[in-house]
Structure 1
Amino acid sequence: MTVARGAALGALLLVVAIVVIVLLGGGGGEQYRLVFQTAGQLVRGNDVQIGGRRIGSVDDISLTDDNQAAVEITVEEPYAPLHEGTTATIRLSSLSSVANRYISLTPGPNSAPELKPGATLDTASTTSVVDIDQLFNTLDERTREGLVNVIQGSATQYEGKTREVQEAAKYLSPALSSTSKLMLELTRDQRNLEAAIVSGARVVSAVGEKRNELSALIGSLNVMMGAIASENQGLAETLDELPGTLREANTTFVDLRSALDDLNPLVDASKPATKDLARFFGEFRPLVDEAVPTFTDLSAFVNTPGPDNDATDLVRMLPELQRVGSPAFENSVKAMRQGQPVVDFFRPYTPELVGWLRSFGQSTANYDANGHYARALANFGAFTYSQGADGSEVLNPVSPDQRFLNQRADATRRCPGGASQARPDGSNPWLAPGGDCAPSDTLTGP
């Protein structure tokens, strides 16, 4: 072998070694312990993420002495080590599987001290997930029934009126925008509005200051009208009532003057809001023009000629709708009450069902050239075994209509968690309150 060939072979071996180290060597990392009030259905292998990127995984989940969840995680480099101030939150991307739970980390500042390997973040730095069951369990049965009735009633209310609701919503945004412009303009032309209000106040004040002269004038008019009344009895009777009326009017004017004095603070407070009132009214005109079609459509919606085609007819039909719909609502509520025991019995077994869906989904999700990996169909009792006279072993086919004879579907009465090996801490199987199961019906083996 020449020197050149030896050098080439050595370089090739070096490249292969580097590739093996990169692919199989791993990136290293640090382990930490997170304490949550509840693990929120986390399982081993769930992701640990920062900003939506996977940076580690859940290694183990256990219970602390005070019945809190202790979660062991590994954070890979270059995100490890973490710093003080780091917080952790259990999140879920959907409700379809426990595999969709993950831990989201919010790292502390790089200027903070580093956390030592194996450090613990207590519940002051962690946040557990809130499941939908926990939310609805906070409501009593009467509240849940009322919520169901509200949702069903809303669906009935808008049934067949989709187009009208869409038309009303289409004009809502322009109306709000125009109203915003209106309120903006109220704060502009302050000077003109202030002058108008002040001038009006001065006029009323001047009238109040001349009340004595006005009273004398009215008295003179009374004398004059008395002379005229001698000519007309009917006019005399009318004029007899006039002094009392004028006296009451004089009192009103006096009270008006004090009212205008009390109005001055309001005028002063209105000055900033009326700065650009003139400009506002100028720009308000387009809003009025644009609102005409809206009010036209609203009028047609409320009162369209013809039977059963407008909001007025809809309101008239509501009593009949209530008469027809009430029995249906009562039957629905009764059905939900009768179904509550079934839901209460089924709920403890939810982790088993979700776990099966997760495992089955993982085995069927990937595929090769022949299709998905799972291409098997369970076939029970397709053959019977017998031994021939010559000692040979024979499989005898069984017809499909005979395959399920002597088979039972109630062979086990396992409690929640009884489908897997019992854990040393005794967390499974679990006898749910009121559950109808056998805690002793468990899998054999360690």
Structure 2
Amino acid sequence: MRRIPLFVLGVAAVAAAAVLIAPGDDEYPANVVLPSATGLIPGSKVLVNGFDAGQVDEVSIKDGRAQVTMRLTNDFAPLHAGASARIVWKAVLGERQLDVRDGPETNPVIPAGGTLDGKASDPVEMDKVLAALDPATRTHLSSLVQGLDHTVVGNETDLRQTLRQAGPAMEALGGVLRAVGSDGPAIRELVGQLNSMVTTLVNRDQQVRAIVSGLSGATEAVVQQRDQLRAALAKLPGTLGTADRMLADVPGTVDKAVPLLEDLRPATDRLPAVARTLRPVLADLRPTVAQLRPTLGALGTLLQFTPGLLDSAHGALPGTESAVTSLTPALSFLRPYTPEVVGWLSNWGSSAANYDSNGHYMRVNIPAGISSFDNNPGVMPPGMVSDPFPAPGAIAGQPWTDAFGSGVR
């Protein structure tokens, strides 16, 4: 039975809070205390965060300060702690409006009828503006106003129609300016970044100037070489066509090269071992190659005299050719006896190869026999044979009987 009264009390508290926050006329009242409310009248517009949110109901004085009672629509209610208000100028001729800036939504809610802190700047009246002008400026301004008055007189209907037609455009302009005002922080940041960029450019003026100068020089060079570039571009299609044909032949060439490379693989696999084997040989050849440098120098000196030697030899070649031609029969005859001549020279060389403390000496063995007598009438003793025309190689027991084709001539 006790739960029912508690429930009723809760419902009553919620209803009371709803009445305080949202009054019966579906509007949200609030008060603003300002040092001065000059130019603000009942019916003046109230802005919340830059949007039309209501109007001023009453302007009164309390404790020597202006107290403004305003009424906001529920779309902008309720306000939060930390909200502030100030008077802004809607027009130059004295019309004012109240600009309210709501506090963070995480702050406590200000109940309906609550009070906000406000601030106001000294209004700038038209008479103060005119008083700040010097006499000559006021005279010119007076003539300007009179001329404007003469221009408007008789054209009131056209001017009214023009202003009426310009209303939508002005309203759109107002929307744009309102959007600019709501995007103030973003625009401020953009202007700050632009200022930083301009400052950086100013600090690097010399570098920017050098870059611009280099770009200008490059542009001039491109302009001067325009004809060459045009000619190169004219040849480009033909070059691309030739390249296309060459690339078309590449697959066939590759197909033919692949088997060859496959055949060469065993040999290439052996190249590392061959290289390791050749490394000691090349290391041993390095001193020899170094010693060849003087020889190559001497060869260069010799080659300098070679043209003269060839010229002299050219004069002697005809006689040499005839001498060689004359000696050809004798050489042809002696050619089969080359082994005997070489053997004879070898024997003489072996005999003269001995030497003692006095120098080289030669031993000569003179064989003597029955055939050595001078009065031998040509009769050979038993066991001896006389051959006045021995065949080549007969001394070594290998007669060269086919040296002349059909025996000795």
Pairwise same-fold verdict (TM > 0.5): no
Q: Which has the higher helix share?
A: 2
Larger radius of gyration between Structure 1 and Structure 2: 2
- What TM-score do you get using the length of structure 2 for normalisation? 0.29
- What TM-score do you get using the length of structure 1 for normalisation? 0.27
